[in-house]
Structure 1
Amino acid sequence: MNRSPAILIRGGRERLSREQLAELRGFCTPTIANAIETFEVRERQEGVTRAGVHCLFPGLGPMVGYACTAVIESAKPPAEPRRVARAGYWRHLEACGGDVVAVMQDLSQPPGGAYIGEVNATIHRSLGCVGILTNGTARDLDEVRRLGFHLFAGGVEVSHGWAHLEDFGAEVQVFGLRVKPGDLIHADRHGAVVIPEQVAHLTAKAARRVERSERPMLEACGREDRIELLDRLIPPGY
């Protein structure tokens, strides 16, 4: 498996700047999803999480960053010798250049313990991660919240069980969302979306257009002729 930090540049296109990422954080994830739809680069149900993901700290606002992927297992002990070294994964995270979202697929379903707690969250934060998206579970919520670290998980759990790292640097799937290393992730209390690389630099502008297009619909709700007006304003696909 090639574990080079491909997150830095993908397909010849440089990553978005810190300012561009901050601009994307100014929109909720549903608006970002609507903006992506306007480019017609994929089906509407592709590139988004389905039900089940819990945003544990919604007060932090949207999470935006480039994916660094890992596979964990929590319900049974790791095989000996270990398949991968934790230190190798940590070095890989550090090499990704910051603004990273760690996306972790727990092979154990249901999970058998929480991989993410105060210690692992602190480690990831120190290596450039802004948050974690996992179909596994988490714990130590008060401590992790104080870090200002985003956490999206399938639930919470008391014990860490047998949670351990199995692999990293490959495509993973969480809550129906397929994520490759280097994918641009936008997530909030509604779930997560992968922003397609070819439209990433245009997405904030498209999101502003979406907001402008919705404003007349919202204003129409206060008018006496709202039903007829709304029927004209709202596209037939809705």
Structure 2
Amino acid sequence: MTHPATEPLPSSVLQALTRYDTPTICNAMEVIAPERRLNGYTVKPLVCPFPDLPPIVGYARTVTIRATTPPSLSAAEQRAARIAYYEYIGTGSGPRITVIQDLDGANVGYGAFWGEVQSALHKALGCLGVVTDGSIRDIPQWAPGFQALAGSIGPSHAYVHADSFGGTVNVAGMTVRSGDLVHADRHGAVVIPFDLAAKLPEAAELCARREEVILEVARSPSFSLDKLKAALARAAEIH
């Protein structure tokens, strides 16, 4: 995986990537980086309570959480840790996406780190959404426009607390490091290598042109296998 860049990508590149849904980005990635067919994206189902929100693209803020055991820190240490966490979330290249791995093993999702308060706070801190294998709650009170992909929806936060932040996490099979560029929508999420980001829109348009030839035939009332074979041949010639 490409290391995160020291400087953020041009905003025009990020804006261009938001024009495409995440499956299209994955398709385009296969064109320019076929070795990534089996890695770099979520491979397990995630719940998306806001499927109509547009795709989001941002730099990862990585966190691990636990909910089945209380934190071992004193009250003062917990307050200091909470402030340090929010400072991490609210600084660095933006926009940002919070990516959270739940470390509770068989009890993953036992307590929800995310709800009305955290979605509002993270939105105010410059985040566009969250991708987590943990649980979320307070769906009707959720910050408007703040995207969410989660392992489950649950009622309680139990003992949930941030265990660490800024390291490497794995959420639904997708490995993410702090600062990685992430694209997400209702389907899931994918990490975009910095050196490939600007090439993806052109590759996505190539995929669309190839698919359109086939879709035109598939949607035609005069569809036939012979026309499909001809369309597949034409699509293969599009470069």
Give TM-score, length-normalised by structure 2.
0.87
Q: Would you say the 8 A contact 2:61–2:97 is kept in 1?
A: yes
Using the TM superposition, name which of 220-229 and 104-113 deviates more: 220-229
Mapped partners of 2:36, 2:112: distance in 1:
33
CA-CA distance at 1:11 after TM superposition: 3.8
SS in structure 1 of the partner of residue 175 of structure 2: strand
1:141 to 139, 142, 147: 139
> Partner residue of 2:52?
59
What code does the residue aligned with 1:51 have? K
Mapped partners of 1:234, 1:213: distance in 2:
5
Root mean square deviation of aligned Cα: 2.0
Question: In structure 2, do the counterparts of structure 1 residues 40 and 20 end up closer, same or farther at CA, with 3 Å as the change threshold?
Answer: closer
Runs of 4+ in 1 over 6 A off after TM superposition: none
1:10 to 4, 8, 14: 4
1:194 to 191, 196, 207: 191
**What's the CA shift string for 1:87-125, capped at 9, x where partnerless?**
111111221243100000010133211100011111111
> Partner residue of 2:113?
115
Mapped partners of 2:187, 2:68: distance in 1:
28
The structure with more helix, counted as a fraction of residues = 2
What code does the residue aligned with 1:10 have? P
CA-CA distance at 1:51 after TM superposition: 2.1
Q: Would you say the 8 A contact 1:54–1:191 is kept in 2?
A: no
In the alignment of these two chains, the number of paired residues is: 225
What code does the residue aligned with 2:4 have? R
In percent, how many aligned pairs have the same letter? 37
Q: Is 2:96 the counterpart of 1:95?
A: no
Using the TM superposition, name which of 223-232 and 151-160 deviates more: 223-232
Show the 5 A alignment for 1:39-78. Answer: 39-40=32-33, 42-78=35-71
Q: Would you say the 8 A contact 2:8–2:93 is kept in 1?
A: no
**What's the CA shift string for 1:5-40, capped at 9, x where partnerless?**
xxxx9345x322333222211111111001111112
Q: Is 2:229 the counterpart of 1:228?
A: yes
Give TM-score, length-normalised by structure 1.
0.87
Q: Which runs of 5+ in 1 are unaligned?
A: 1-8
> Partner residue of 2:19?
26
Mapped partners of 2:196, 2:135: distance in 1:
32
Using the TM superposition, name which of 175-184 and 16-25 deviates more: 16-25
What code does the residue aligned with 2:182 have? I
Show the 5 A alignment for 1:127-138. Answer: 127-138=125-136
